[in-house]
Amino acid sequence: EVQLVESGGGLVQPGGSLRLSCAASGFTFSSYNMNWVRQAPGKGLEWISFISGSSSTIYYGDSVKGRFTVSRDNAKNSLFLHMNSLRAEDTAVYYCAKRLDDWGQGTLVTVSA
Amino acid sequence: DIVMTQTPLSSPVTLGQPASISCRSSQSLVHSDGNTYLSWLQQRPGQPPRLLIYQISNRFSGVPDRFSGSGAGTDFTLKISRVEAEDVGVYYCIQGTQFPRTFGQGTKVEIK
């Protein structure tokens, strides 16, 4: 059974940093592209990052480009999202997704003073 | 960026009746490989999104056959043949043809 478990969310001040993790199991992690998608409170879904299985291809949404960095450790079946220069508008539930097939439960990031 | 526009944004439906959601893209979603990467996701209240349909019309594993997808180019439709109580939630289309990936605004399906 595919499992994706996000962690690392929490309350952070504007301008601060946070690292999210996504622990994957139940599939050959290195064979799959992964995405990060977020959802602000009461709002729709926003795609923010893609990383290929080998990490050779990476893309970001415009709203996070230059501030967020995606990475993965295939030996540890883990996906990461390093978030810098956080803003109030980054407040959201952050989901990791195996392609679009399977999704974690999400981790809440709140950016507030 | 490709803009995805869903209509309606809200769809009150009687149990057992059909529902239909439209998704229009600002440019063709036909990829250079010949495939069209248009997917539909369901998000039930308090739950993460769930993949229903990929590449326009392919139901994902475990998705009931009352869900169907159709369309081509820039116009796509998700249909629920007979709405059940468990279908309540928000439905999103997403294009996977080009980066950045873009979602529709979401359509809320609720029971009348």
Establish if A37 touches chain B: CB-CB under 8 angstroms.
Answer: yes
Residue B1: the pLDDT is: 96
Chain B hits for A98, CB-CB cut-off 8 Å, are none
Establish if B41 touches chain A: CB-CB under 8 angstroms.
Answer: yes
pLDDT in tens, B7-47: 999 999 999 999 999 999 999 999 999 999 999 999 999 99
How many pairs of residues across A and B have Cβ atoms under 8 Å apart? 47
Residue A2: the pLDDT is: 96
Residue B101: the pLDDT is: 98
Counting Cβ atoms within 10 Å, is residue A41 exposed (0-12), middle (13-18) or buried (19+)? exposed
The alpha-carbon gap from B3 to the nearest alpha carbon of chain A, in Å, equals 12
- The mean pLDDT value of chain B amounts to 97
Is residue B65 within 8 Å of A7, Cβ to Cβ? no
Report the residue from B1, B51, B92 with minimal CB separation from A45.
B92
Establish if B46 touches chain A: CB-CB under 8 angstroms.
Answer: no
Establish if A40 touches chain B: CB-CB under 8 angstroms.
Answer: no
Residue B7: the pLDDT is: 97
Q: Are strands A68-73 and A78-83 parallel, antiparallel or unpaired?
A: antiparallel
Task: Provide mean pLDDT across the span B93-98.
Answer: 98
In this structure, is the dihedral angle defined by the CA atoms of residues A81, A87, A89 and A91, taken in order, positive or negative?
Answer: positive
Spatial separation of the C-alpha atoms in residues A53 and B68, rounded to whole Å: 30
Compute how many other C-beta atoms are within 10 angstroms of the C-beta atom of residue A102.
21
Chain A hits for B99, CB-CB cut-off 8 Å, are 50, 59
pLDDT in tens, A30-64: 999 999 999 999 999 999 999 999 999 999 999 99
Contacts of B32 (CB under 8 A, 6+ apart): none
H-assigned helices in A6-71? none
Residue in A45, A112, A33, A107 with CA at minimum distance from that of residue A70: A33
Establish if B63 touches chain A: CB-CB under 8 angstroms.
Answer: no
Spatial separation of the C-alpha atoms in residues A42 and B37, rounded to whole Å: 27
- Would you give the distance in Å from CA A45 to the centre of its chain? 13
Residue B108: the pLDDT is: 98
Is residue B19 within 8 Å of B30, Cβ to Cβ? no
Percent of chain B whose pLDDT exceeds 90: 100
Token look-up 């490709």 returns B2
Phi then psi dihedrals of residue A15, to 5 deg: 90, -10
With b meaning 16 or more CB within 10 Å and e meaning fewer, what string describes A44-76? ebbbbbbbeeeeeeebbbeebeeebbbebeeee
Task: Provide mean pLDDT across the span A88-109.
Answer: 97
